Amino acid sequence: MEIEAATLRLADTVLLPGVGELEVRRLEKDDDVRAWFRGDEDSEEPSRVWAPAERLEIRRPGSLFAPRKRPKSVAEGREQIFERMEALGWTVRRSGYGLRNDYVTDPADTTRLQLRAQSVHLQRRSFEDGVWRWKADTSSLGQIIEYACNLDENVSRLLRLAERDAATRHAADEKWVDAEGKRARPPVAAEDGEGDMSDEDTTDDESETDARGVVVRYSREGGVLICGDTYEHRKTLKAVQAPYKLRYSRHLPDNCAWFVPRSRGTYQPRDRVELLATALRKQGVPRVVVEYEDAEPAAPRETERRTPAPARVEPAQPPPTVAREAVAAPTKVSNKRAQKQAQAQAQKLRVLADKAEAAAERELRAERVEDTPRRAEQAARIRARAERNRLIAQVMRRAADEVASGKLTHMSQIRSRAQLEALDRELMRGHWARQSAEGRRSEDREPSI
């Protein structure tokens, strides 16, 4: 259940994303709400402080022992598991688009649930040559319906296991970082004459180092980024393997050049981000600064989790002639500079759409050998994918007109085919969610904006 912090009681169990379920053992209320969890009762500082109007996800003692209703179907049990684990900060990845099973991963990316057609399995990472890989063998946790019936007990056991695995991973990463730091080349000793520098010269050099340092930046939106003066340390950044492996990109914002793959939109513990900075320092980077934001994202509300997002609900499409007339009359942008920038961004989208359509046309015109049923099926899939890409390109042109008119500003951030396909997937999921909420089965597989 969800309550305001002002109505919190003793013995309530608070669900904290990325942490778990914690029982309130001491409580003080004044201008703010201060709570001490089990094990911290004797501490002077409270375990958590909330504003009175802040929303909290809790469970009351009466509801802890209430009999849980048996799910009517496997799909209902699956959704109950997703809803519960998302409230605890775990990441849910549903099947489709290359994924055969559903996965629910802990914030440390070390332990996850693998939900197959009827059963639940536990999968953990193992450390091999500086890389944490998912083990091929999994442990069966039973059927999905049975697992959902005893969800409280199973989740409590899973959280304890994930906490131990995360601590083990952190300790192994620390050992690996120490070993790599000892193997790294020691810093170059000062040459003759450098020790005679004046205090003013030393101050100038320190200020230059401050301005040209490497910044390890984390936010939930942007993920883990490496910014600042990264060019001269590019070999070191490329060689880092623990606690993260870094990748270079030219399309990152704010003077950033390296990033951690698949960290966007995920919770990353502060100690792992700090350990990355320690690894860079031990491998020869003189100055590393950590900027850690959005440490604990708020858990989604009950109503928000059960209803589709409003932004994904598509309005009724007007006739094509009306849509063309609406696009042909762009709205005025008050700032000339913003209008010029919107035109440039729209042109980039048109170029991207032209490339996508040209590639689709080449796929459709290509001659293929279809002398066997398997080859014929493969050719049919290729043609269907090309038709879809051509349709996406047409949608992108209409979106470019909207960007030029000062609308759809988020579309201007698309600069690659991967981002375009990600947008298409989100549109399809929104479309299916709307059809499911309306109780209809979707037969439409075309994207729409």
Q: At what angle do helices 320-328 and 373-404 cross, to 10 degrees?
A: 40
Give the separation between CA 116 and CA 399, rounded to whole angstroms: 38
Alpha helices (runs of H) in 150-233, residue ranges in sequence order: 151-183, 199-211
> pLDDT for 390-421, tens place per residue?
888 887 788 778 777 776 655 656 666 666 66
Give the separation between CA 42 and CA 44, rounded to whole angstroms: 7
Three-state DSSP at 245 gives: coil
Residue 231 is predicted with a pLDDT of: 85
* DSSP one-letter string for 29-81: ESSSEEEEETT-TT-SS-SEEE-TT-EEEEE-HHHHSSPPPPPSSHHHHHHHH
Residue at token pair 């099926």: 377
- Closest to 48 measured CA to CA, from 79, 17, 93, 76: 17
Contact 78, 115 (CB under 8 A): yes
- Closest to 288 measured CA to CA, from 240, 252, 248, 323: 240
Contact 22, 67 (CB under 8 A): no
Q: What's the predicted TM-score (pTM) here?
A: 0.46
Q: Which amino acid is at 208?
A: E
Q: Which amino acid is at 235?
A: K
Q: Which strand (E) or helix (H) includes residue 389? A: helix 373-404
Query: Residue 4's beta-bridge partner residues?
Result: 55
Residue 130 is predicted with a pLDDT of: 65
Residue 415 is predicted with a pLDDT of: 60
Contact 12, 1 (CB under 8 A): no
- Tokens at 448, concatenated: 């729409």
Instruction: Mention every residue, 6+ apart, whose C-beta is less than 8 A from residue 157.
Output: none
Residue 112 is predicted with a pLDDT of: 92
Give the separation between CA 13 and CA 35, rounded to whole angstroms: 11
Name the phi and psi angles at 52, rounded to 5. -60, -30
Residue at token pair 């939900």: 115
Q: Which strand (E) or helix (H) includes residue 141? A: strand 139-143
pLDDT by residue for the chain (449 residues), tens only, comes to: 788 888 888 888 888 876 778 888 888 888 889 898 888 888 888 888 998 888 888 877 665 555 567 888 999 999 999 988 888 888 888 887 667 889 999 888 889 999 998 999 999 988 776 678 888 888 899 899 989 888 888 888 898 888 888 888 888 888 877 777 777 655 444 444 444 444 444 444 444 434 558 889 888 888 889 998 888 888 888 888 778 888 898 888 778 889 988 788 777 888 888 888 888 888 888 888 888 886 554 444 333 444 444 444 444 444 443 333 333 344 444 467 777 777 887 788 788 888 888 888 888 888 888 888 888 888 888 888 888 888 888 877 887 787 777 766 556 566 666 666 676 777 777 777 777 777 766 554 444 44
Contact 283, 177 (CB under 8 A): no
Residue 123 is predicted with a pLDDT of: 92
Contact 209, 287 (CB under 8 A): yes
Residue 120 is predicted with a pLDDT of: 93
Give the separation between CA 55 and CA 1, rounded to whole angstroms: 10
The length of the chain is 449
